[in-house]
Amino acid sequence: MSPQSVAIIGAGLMGTAIAAAHLRCGVSVLLYDSSADALKNAPKRIADELRLQGADDDVRAVRCSTDPAEVARQPIIIETITEKIKAKQKLYRKLQSAADGFVPLLFSNTSTISISTLATGLDDAWRKNFCGFHSFHPVRERSLIEIISGTETAETTIDAARQHAVRIAKMPILVKDGPGFLVNRMLNPYLTGALQLLADGVEMERIERLATVFGMKMGPFRIMDEIGLDVVLHAGWVLFKAFPDRVPKSPLLLKLVELGRLGRKTGRGFMLYPSATSWDGNGFPDPELPALLEVRTPLPISDAEIVEHLIRGMADEALRCLDEGIITDPVDADLASVHALGFPSERGGVLKWASPDRT
């Protein structure tokens, strides 16, 4: 029987967006957060998200709770908390202790952390029922979900995750476990490439404009602001530890996080945002940002070279994922680039773009 309700852990931007996606498909939500203040603001966030979808679904189908025992007995739990291994593992242990012998399906929305690593410390039955279930910003516009199997995840859990993705009108693809999985490994060169160009003196507005002229739904700095610069930083650290030879550090990103400029959710990141609702309108230039940059003589670089710098790295990383068995079909990389990263569909996907004659 299909569950008529799910528990979602984390009342932040991602958790509330995922909650809205469930409501749109007739699945009621038990929303958990350890912060009563976060839960207090959650119904408005969900209502705003539904408004942006042109929907009028009733947010009364969301119940809020700070009781882990209530959450732990839901048939499906989707965890969306901060991208930190210890925080997630602590939460899982709390749920396992509160479940009193019940074993739910536990899905993590982690964007970069190995599922097998996260499962460490769980009982056998919980490890079998645990997998990755990774949605993308903005949830209302990105139709793909990555499903990631850990070393001990049961096939029945993967089947249930696939069915649930379809239930909420998303396209599931199965990818092998590993830092960053598929989508964030492809996304990272797009973001770090933009940060490198900015550090080399290329204007942010030029980088954003050329990315969108190429056909990307959003420029790299807007994406980082929407995700949250703290989230980008934590995810980048996971990828840096896994791939230190090709994941450069960004002092500017660290500086912005230390200043509390976390993107849309704080009203200011690389740009300024009048609304805290995810993806609700464009950002505006921040006159204070240039003072935070190290002044450099701009590189003599053409528009075409900038686009190549941003996009080629995505294609190269997709090919590495194919070679490493993270995916087994190049079509998955093309689907993921279009339906998760906003790559222009008219170009056929990132690998199709890189190899136009590929059949």
Residues with a known catalytic role? 134
For the beta carbon of residue 266, count every other beta carbon within 10 angstroms.
16
Distance separating alpha carbons of residues 354 and 357, to the nearest angstrom? 9
Which of these, 327, 324, 322, 352, lies nearest to 338 by C-alpha position? 352
Contacts of 287 (CB under 8 A, 6+ apart): none
Distance separating alpha carbons of residues 284 and 305, to the nearest angstrom? 25
Take residue 354 and report the two structure tokens written for it. Answer: 């890189």
Contact (Cβ atoms closer than 8 angstroms) between residue 336 and residue 186: yes
Dihedral pair phi/psi, residue 7, rounded to 5°: -100, 135
Instruction: Give the helix/strand (H/E) hosting 144.
Output: strand 144-149
Contact (Cβ atoms closer than 8 angstroms) between residue 87 and residue 231: no
> Which residue spans within 160-285 are E strands per DSSP?
171-176, 271-272, 284-285
Contact (Cβ atoms closer than 8 angstroms) between residue 348 and residue 354: no
How many CA atoms lie less than 13 Å away from 53 in the CB half-sphere?
23
Contact (Cβ atoms closer than 8 angstroms) between residue 8 and residue 29: yes
Whole-angstrom CA distances from 38 to 16, 65, 262 are 10, 11, 17
Which of these, 241, 223, 234, lies nearest to 257 by C-alpha position? 234
Distance separating alpha carbons of residues 301 and 144, to the nearest angstrom? 34
In DSSP terms, which residues pair with 171 in a beta bridge?
A: 144
